[in-house]
């Protein structure tokens, strides 16, 4: 269960996003809560995002297409400092109570999208209770610090990375291994975050020079994949990227031909068991 997602709520502040996504979410926060995000200094160096706003003239133009925004368009958006910013709203007293009750109920607690301040508080509560947490699409809603990731894994938690082009995805999976608790079974999942505002990987920059060759074998070598066909259209990772879920198999095959790709795939294919063991730790917690 998410304690907070895109917007501030009665339990917690939400993590800030950057770019166009951040602007959109800030506008939605205004609709949901009656106010825009406030920002402040981050709890730690190299954390936070640059927060930008749309000029009032642009908001007024957009309100012609989205009538519900007319009232807030005329009022304009606040301006923010040019430095990296975080949401100063952390876990509320009610949110603190909710986390404790979720632990008592053996629920899996999702800590992505929490403001950095709230995330650190939830990690501290979980550490005192020796309770595992879940980061299902790590890095969404703010990057995690190494100290946070070490703590997540010491608690027996689980993390999944978001997909990107094969070389970077292999690196992201392997990097998670540097934070692992070696006393526990370890695997890294993929959390696509599809269905929200996230995009999926496009073709590799060097796909023309070094394409994924079709047909290809599955990771265990037991299945042969050709190009995915839907209706009259044939999809190719080299030109379409991960255009739909059917291309995830192609992306995984592409990982295998990257430096460190086989090691990354080994960790990925341990993710189901690693998640189940995190669930088991939450279920059996006393």
pLDDT tens-digit map of 111-166: 999 999 999 999 999 999 999 999 999 988 778 889 999 999 999 999 999 999 99
pLDDT surpasses 70 at 22: yes
- Is the pLDDT at 70 greater than 90? The verdict is no
**What's the confidence (pLDDT) of residue 143?**
81
Across 255-282, average pLDDT? 97
Alpha carbon separation from 225 to 46, 167, 196, 216 (Å, rounded): 42, 21, 28, 5
| Percent of the chain scoring above 70 in pLDDT | 99
Distance between CA atoms of residues 120 and 236, nearest Å: 42
Predicted confidence band at 280 (pLDDT cuts at 50, 70, 90)? Answer: very high
**Using alpha carbons only, what angle is made at residue 257 by residues 256 and 262, rounded to the nearest 5 degrees?**
35
The closest alpha carbon to 177, from 196, 159, 156, belongs to 159
Of the candidates 206, 197, 185, the one whose C-alpha atom is nearest the C-alpha of residue 276 is 185
| pLDDT in the model for residue 150 | 97
Is pLDDT of 244 > 80?
yes
DSSP H helices in the chain = 19-33, 56-63, 70-75, 93-104, 116-129, 146-154, 166-176, 237-240, 248-256, 261-268, 271-283
User: CATH second-level architecture of 91-286?
Assistant: Alpha-Beta Barrel (3.20)
Q: How far apart are CA 216 and CA 245, in angstroms?
A: 17
Rounded to an integer, what is the distance from CA 102 to the centroid of its chain? 21
Between 20-24, 34-38, 88-92, the lowest mean confidence (pLDDT) is in 20-24
| Phi (first) and psi of residue 258, to 5 degrees | -95, 160
Taking each helix axis from N to C terminus, what angle separates 248-256 and 166-176, rounded to the nearest 10 degrees? 70
Q: Is the pLDDT of residue 236 over 80?
A: yes
Please give the C-alpha separations between residue 29 and each of 11, 238, 258, in angstroms, as whole numbers. 15, 38, 40
Q: Where are the domains of the chain?
A: 19-75, 91-286
Torsion of CA 65, 69, 73, 78, to 10 degrees: -130
- Count of Cβ atoms closer than 10 Å to residue 96 Cβ: 17
pLDDT at 20 exceeding the cut of 70: yes
Under DSSP, the state recorded for 245 is G
Reading phi first (left if > 0) and then psi (alpha if -120 to 50, else beta), residue 139 is in left
- Whether the CB-CB separation of 121 and 128 falls below 8 Å is answered with no
Cis peptide before 77 (omega within 30 of 0): no
Range in 55-69, 97-111, 161-175, 249-263 with the lowest mean pLDDT: 55-69
For the chain, what percentages of helix, strand and coil (3-state, to nearest 5) are there? 40, 10, 50
Tens-place pLDDT, residues 167-219: 999 999 999 999 999 999 999 999 988 876 678 999 999 999 999 999 999 99
Per-residue pLDDT of 96-114, as tens digits, reads 999 999 999 999 999 999 9
């Amino acid at each position: 269960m998410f304690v907070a997602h895109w917007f501030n709520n009665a339990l917690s502040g939400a993590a800030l996003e950057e770019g166009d996504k951040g602007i959109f979410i800030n506008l939605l926060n205004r609709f949901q809560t009656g106010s825009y995000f406030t920002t402040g200094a981050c709890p730690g160096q190299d954390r936070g995002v640059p927060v930008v706003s749309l000029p009032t003239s642009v908001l007024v133009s957009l309100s012609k297409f989205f009538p519900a925004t007319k009232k807030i368009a005329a009022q304009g958006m606040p301006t923010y400092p040019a430095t990296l910013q975080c949401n100063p709203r952390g876990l509320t007293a009610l949110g603190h109570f909710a986390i404790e009750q979720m632990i008592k109920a053996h629920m899996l607690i999702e800590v992505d999208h929490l403001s950095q301040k709230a995330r650190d508080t939830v990690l501290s509560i979980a550490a005192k209770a020796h309770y595992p947490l879940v980061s299902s699409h790590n890095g969404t809603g703010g990057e995690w610090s190494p100290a946070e990731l070490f703590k997540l894994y010491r608690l027996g938690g689980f993390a999944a990375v978001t997909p990107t082009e094969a070389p970077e995805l292999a690196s992201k999976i392997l990097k998670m291994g540097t934070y692992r608790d070696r006393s526990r079974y370890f695997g890294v999942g993929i959390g696509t975050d599809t269905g929200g505002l996230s995009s999926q990987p496009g073709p590799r920059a060097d796909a023309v020079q070094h394409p994924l060759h079709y047909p290809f074998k599955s990771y265990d070598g037991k299945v042969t994949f050709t190009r995915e066909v839907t209706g009259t259209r044939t999809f190719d990772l080299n030109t379409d990227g991960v255009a739909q879920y059917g291309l995830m198999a192609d992306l995984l095959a592409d990982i295998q031909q990257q430096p460190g790709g086989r090691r990354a795939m080994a960790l990925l294919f341990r993710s189901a068991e690693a998640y189940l063991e995190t669930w088991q730790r939450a279920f059996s917690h006393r």
